[in-house]
Structure 1
Amino acid sequence: MEYNKNFYQIRSNDNIFKRIKDERATVGYYDLPYQDTSKIKAYVETVTQQHIVVLGIGGSSLGAKAIYEFLLPANHYQKDLVFLETVDPLKINHCLAKLDIKNAHFVVISKSGDTIETISLFKYLRALIEINSDNCTIISEAKTGLSKFAQDNHITTFELSANIGGRFSVFSVVGLVPLAMVGVDIDNLLNGARRVSDSFFIQQDYYQPIISKARFLVENKGRFNINAIFSYSSALEGFNKWYVQLWAESLGKLNINKTRQALTPIALIGPIDQHSFLQLIIDGVRDKTVTFIKIADLKDDTIIPKSSENLGLEYAEGLSFNDLLNKQADATIQSVKDQEDIPCDVITVSTVDEYNIAKLMFSYQLLVSTIGQFLQINTYNQPGVEKGKIILKESLKETFT
């Protein structure tokens, strides 16, 4: 009988922590909270256009979009940030119809310099309007075709380091440049990320929750292999999409023994999804963990007014919608806890600002890196995604010839 080893030893927390610390020598995102932003801030002061249009897909757009959509309802930016991240022509032209492209600045982001969606969009825009050093910024690795184009046309370029993967790039120039252009406080963003990083690496308050959660998910992945986040604010919809990419593309891998690993992400918005998916969580198969995310202060005091009409629910009158939202979250959390066999935890974001969204996002990056070390996988590659890109390129080349 041939015996194939299909298991691995789950290493100690101390061993995993050492491995994470060692990763800092080669994985670039760990250093991002400590960078100097003076060059970025000086440059964005020269950008005068009203519309900042990001051409990018996946890790080149999801992080910045998550932060912008989180901050937007509570802030009044003088400029608007638009994301072109699809080759669906209906979506492209719908987005372009809503802005004055003559008053737009285009931020073209492609780590490899040859992302087909991004370059195709760029070519389309160049057919509509002259793009030059006055209305364009390029973000790419050094020596890519896109960087060479920028150099040839005297377009300002921000280099993305080769050791920073797209889904871990939100606190690099990929996220900071377009966000700074519309007025987001990028230094406060980095302050939040640095707060989490410092705490984790000197094993203070962020260390234990992250490493304990990572260990629990890995030790129980055979039973609880679906990981749902239940975000109680529409301001977190962008974060939810960013989380799905970060989680799925990082953790769906073959480990060192060629055993398939999978912790499947699901992203929900409360209270909308408590009227649908919650039923599956409560009465369905016990294969899910749930993380609830609340925002304590949405910076909005709109209340439910009193009514002279006989509409009922008088007990909710005078309550702020912020309080109602959090009370709905608390009720849902309690209903899940009452089951006593659904693993769940709660994250409370203090308020809507750069500091707090950065703390949330950087803690999730650290959590994913820690899980990857426990699983003994390469957290930072994406061979499954690359195969599809290769097939597409070969197909297009055949059609072209």
Structure 2
Amino acid sequence: MHYRHNFNPTISDEEIFDNILDEQELIGYYSLPLQDPSIYKEYAKGVKQKNIVVIGIGGSTLGTYAIYKYLKHSKELTKKLYFLETTDPIDIESKLENVDLNDTLFIVISKSGTTIETISIFKYIHSLVSIDKNNCVVVTEHDSKLKTYADANGMKSFEIPKNVGGRFSVFSAVGLLPLAIVGINIDDLLKGAKMVHQSFFNKRNFYKRLINKARFLVEYKNSFNVNVVFSYSSRLEGFNKWYIQLWGESLGKVDINSTRQGLTPIGIIGPIDQHSFLQLIIEGKRDKTVTVIKVENFYNHLKIPPVKLEGLEELDYIDNLEFSKLINKQADATIESINNVNDIPCDVITIDGMCESAIAALMYEYELLTSLCAKFMYIDAYNQPGVESGKKILKEKLIKNI
């Protein structure tokens, strides 16, 4: 993994790092890369179904989808993974119409065990096919009502630790179980996250780069309140969605001085959004930082063929160019155009390739960055009172039928 940036904050680091060290005793996601994943691999060996359907929403699905989306075209996976995560009836029916429900394992994921969207969809699945211990497994907290349901029906369950928040849970059973079942190497996933963990906590490369970036983002949050992730691969579309939840739900808070804080995440895809959002970046209001994410090796050699098109001969210079090289040159051109204006904070992350360790390292890096930003902002990254208030209102309306 390579990295470069054009900002250079100079604030002292030690107090924030000590706070993160202390937080490790309370917040469980930090240590997830160090776990033994044997229980997930062992369970995965016994799964016979060809279709795996994850029922969940938000932190229960976004991280898993990000990894699956990134890797599924580079791996020879023996099973297909689907996600039911919205109460949109058209989405539910369209996703299920091509799934053989009699050859499906359902993984129901809810940290609280009472997520309305998840239980609503699960009830619908019950109406379509017989659900029992042979085709359903549960991932939840050890004392949730969903765990009670699983126990009552003899279903296998895996625990989400109470000190691991949903949006930080991708390297727990939430992500590792379904990914292991479909054939993704979860040892390599944890290896990538562990590399970042060790580098940061041993004060090597990731320590300096993450603290510097977090300090800059917070110090200049009133000037550059919008943080754009510009991912140059369609396979990173899932990562962008995950980042938006992680950043928005963690950093939109009221601080210890009762001041409203927040950094606004935007995830876009190159080169598609070069033809839309890049115009806003280059000539629009100076309220955005930009992180460009490149993939060093696509492991794909598809080329532009030397087809002669009458009247378009002036573009023959692209003949025989690999598409993977073209997209990276497009990324480089975007980076250069941003740096040329000289007043847009921009950094570049180049990940190694289409492999488990690469996407896991990127995601764990962003988890650490989120925690660091929260420390600098004097907010709690791990609660979500704004979301909970909406849930309470919805529950009251549904109970009263209004």
Q: What's the TM-score bracket when you normalise by the shorter of the two chains?
A: over 0.9
Question: For 1:338, what is the secondary structure of its paired residue?
Answer: helix
1:295 is matched with which residue? 295
Give distance in 2, aligned partners of 1:322 and 1:73. 15
**Is contact 1:169-1:175 (8 Å) kept?**
yes
Where does structure 2 lack aligned partners over 5 or more consecutive residues?
1-9
Mapped partners of 1:39, 1:166: distance in 2:
20
Structure 2 letter corresponding to 1:15: E
Of residues 367, 377, 386, the one that matches 1:365 is 367
Question: In the alignment, is the contact (CA less than 8 A) between 1:11 and 1:374 conserved in 2?
Answer: no
Runs of 4+ in 1 over 3 A off after TM superposition: none
User: Given the alignment of the two structures, is residue 16 of structure 1 paired with residue 22 of structure 2, yes or no?
Assistant: no
Partner of 2:227: 227
Percentage of matched positions with identical amino acids: 54
Matched AA of 1:133: K
Report the residue type matching 1:73 in the other structure.
H
Listed as ranges, the matches of 1:57-76 within 5 Å are 57-76=57-76
3-state secondary structure, aligned to 1:120? helix
Q: Which residue of 1 aligns with 2:45?
A: 45
Maintained 8 Å contact 2:224/2:289: yes
Q: Deviations over 1:249-271 (max 9, x none)?
A: 00000010010001100101000
TM-score of the two chains, using structure 2 as the length reference: 0.96
Of 331, 337, 343, the match for 1:341: 343
CA contact (8 A) 2:11 2:215 kept: no
Which residue of structure 2 lines up, in the alignment, with residue 315 of structure 1? 317
Q: Which residue of 2 aligns with 1:120?
A: 120
1:284 — aligned with what? 284
CA distance in structure 2 between the partners assigned to 1:321 and 1:248 by the alignment: 33
- Write out aligned runs for 1:238-277 (5 A): 238-277=238-277
3-state DSSP class of the match of 2:401? helix
TM-score by length of 1: 0.96
Partner-residue secondary structure (3-state), 1:289: strand
Secondary structure at 1:158 match in 2: strand
- Counterpart of 2:352 in structure 1: which amino acid? S
Give CA deviations for 1:154-179 in whole Å, capped at 9, x if unaligned. 10000111000000000000000000
Tell me, in whole angstroms, the C-alpha distance in 2 between the residues paired with 1:114 and 1:32. Answer: 24
Q: Residues 329-361 of structure 1: CA distance to partner in whole angstroms, max 9, x if unpaired?
A: 000110000000000000001100000000000
Deviations 1:311-341 (A, max 9, x none): 3311111110000000000001100000000
Question: Contact conserved, 1:303 with 1:319, CA < 8 A, in 2?
Answer: yes
Structure 1: where are the runs of 5+ without partners?
A: 1-9
| 1:24-67 residue CA offsets vs partner (Å, 9 max, x unmatched) | 00000011001111111111111110100000000000000000
* Displacement of 1:247: 0.3
- Contact persistence 1:165–1:380 (CA under 8 A): yes
The AA in structure 1 aligned to 2:28 is G
Q: Compute the displacement of 1:11 (Å).
A: 7.8
**Count of residue pairs the alignment pairs up:** 391
